[in-house]
Amino acid sequence: MEGCRDVTCMFVNAHFSPYGSNESRRGSGLYSSLRVGQMSQGIVGITLDELCVGAVCKHPVEDRRGLLLLGANASITADVIRNLREREIAELRIDARDVETICVEDAAPVALTRESDRKKRIAKATPVKDLLVDCHAEGLSETRSLELETVKMLAKAHFEVLREQLSDNVVLTTDGFVEVANNYARSMIEDHDQTIGEVGAAVASCDVDDRSIRMAVLGMAVATEMGLTGQQILELGLTALLHDIGFNLMGPALRKPVELMNEEELWEYRKHPIVSVSCVAEVPQISEGIQIAMEQVHEQFDGSGYPRGVKSHRIHNYARILNVVDSYLQLIFPTNERRGIIPHDALGLLLHQAGRGLFDPRVIKAFLHMESLYPLGSIVELASGEMARVIRRPRTGFADPVLQSTEGQRIDLGLGEATVVRPVCDPEVDQIRLSPQVLETVLWHPSHPKMKVG
């Protein structure tokens, strides 16, 4: 995995743009003010942070004194940018014809157009997988933990604002949620494993907002593994964040665990994706594709889901991804009625049910790659009897992650530094393990979550 720690090339979604077409943006004062300055006709000055990893410059790139930095047809890679940064080159001269291809797009959600935020946007058309920074050798960062906590608080605040708008029956904008998705995507690019390990792991309790946030982050990670671009990743994140907002307009009887609902309540409950879409149908930034995906998050690959029972590739790609993530979260989080299942066994259960056709096999495969056999953030017992938390995916394969012991010591199973005996329950979460017999015989369905063994 090659990455760009310094240049977080960013994403732009035309749906979210307040400016319309590229032409109208190019002519705007905003665009002009964001450039370092016109050097001469046909030559544009840009900052190093504006270069987009993965692009190819068709014409030479020079420094501000005219010294050649990159020849024609050079690829912009993370190494190239790192090298330029090490040479303390902050400003570049590029041919104006290369602006469209090698610069970060300017169109952006309203909330992201501030100069301070520009360098944090994701490249529009680049697969996010190509941008991931390799942090395998690094420990966990306290700063990143704090940043992730801040993004969560921001998301919670936006959910509150949304509820206020819903109480007045007017949702005018969802820009704040784009900003949330973008912040999580950026964190994932800078350190995939820590972001997933901290946001995607099980916790003792989780409300609807929390769950939507976790679903967005895990969903964006699976989509990254599947090669989706920055634009698609953000659309998927937005879909996840908004897919359950319809509950805010539904009665309190529908907020209890589905295990306790009677048939009539279940019938009403299964309309919630349609209600969610109706909440944002008038918001111009929410494309038809996002609306379709929001409505289809609970559709199953074999047609056994709701609200319409569509199947296979008639289900939007984002919805197929989020359906797997939603099912996983359903399993690992405890409710008032049942205990959570440890992530390793939840993954096993998903794989088992995938064999029955419930999920898109491509998504299941990507999910397994994204989490590996011992999911990020989960706990294992070592042969020494010591407990340790999974902090990094294996460098190769699925079975040998990097762990952190309770004393903070790093243990790389890929280097043979220890042996895992078994996955164990997180002492801070009400969890159980599933026996191999149950895993092999249980029938479980996300829409009918009571387990039937045998």
Positions touching Fe ion (CB under 5 A) are 244
Residues 290 and 370: beta-carbon distance below 8 Å: no
Residue the block writes with tokens 């909330």? 111
The Cβ of residue 379 has, within 10 Å, a number of other Cβ atoms equal to 23
In the bound complex, which residue of the shown chain has the CB atom lying closest to Fe ion? 244
Closer to Fe ion by Cβ: residue 175 or 244: 244
Least separation in angstroms between residue 90's CB and Fe ion is 46
Please identify, using beta-carbon distances, which residue of 235 and 295 lies nearer to Fe ion.
Answer: 295
Q: Shortest distance, CB of residue 208 to Fe ion, whole angstroms? A: 8
Instruction: Write down the least CB distance from residue 296 to Fe ion, Å.
Output: 11
Q: How far apart are CA 4 and CA 79, in angstroms?
A: 8
Whole-angstrom distance, CA of residue 228 vs CA of residue 224:
5
Our CB check for Fe ion shows the closer of 270 and 389 to be 270
Q: Which residue has the tokens 């602006």?
A: 99
DSSP 63: E
Q: Is 441 helix (H, G, I), strand (E, B) or coil?
A: helix
User: For 165-218, where are the E strands, in sequence order?
Assistant: none
Place of tokens 């291809």: 101
Q: Supply the Cα-derived Rg of the chain in whole angstroms.
A: 23
Q: Which residue, 51 or 240, has its beta carbon nearer to Fe ion?
A: 240
Which helix (DSSP H) or strand (DSSP E) does residue 97 occupy? none
What is the closest distance, in whole angstroms, from the C-beta atom of residue 269 to Fe ion in the complex? 9
Is residue 221 within a helix (H) or strand (E), and if so which, with residue range? helix 208-225
d(CA 63, CA 10): 23
Q: Which is nearer to Fe ion, 244 or 345 (CB)?
A: 244
CB of 129 within 8 A of CB of 189? no
Which is nearest to 38 in space by CA: 95, 104, 90?
95
Residue 244 CB, nearest approach to Fe ion (Å): 4
In angstroms, give the least distance from the CB of 398 to Fe ion.
29
Would you say 279 and 298 are in contact if contact means Cβ atoms under 8 Å apart?
Answer: no
Q: Which two tokens stand for residue 50?
A: 């504006």
Beta bridge partners of residue 445, listed in sequence order:
448
Min CB(164)–Fe ion separation in Å: 21
Q: Smallest gap, in angstroms, from Cβ of residue 246 to Fe ion?
A: 8
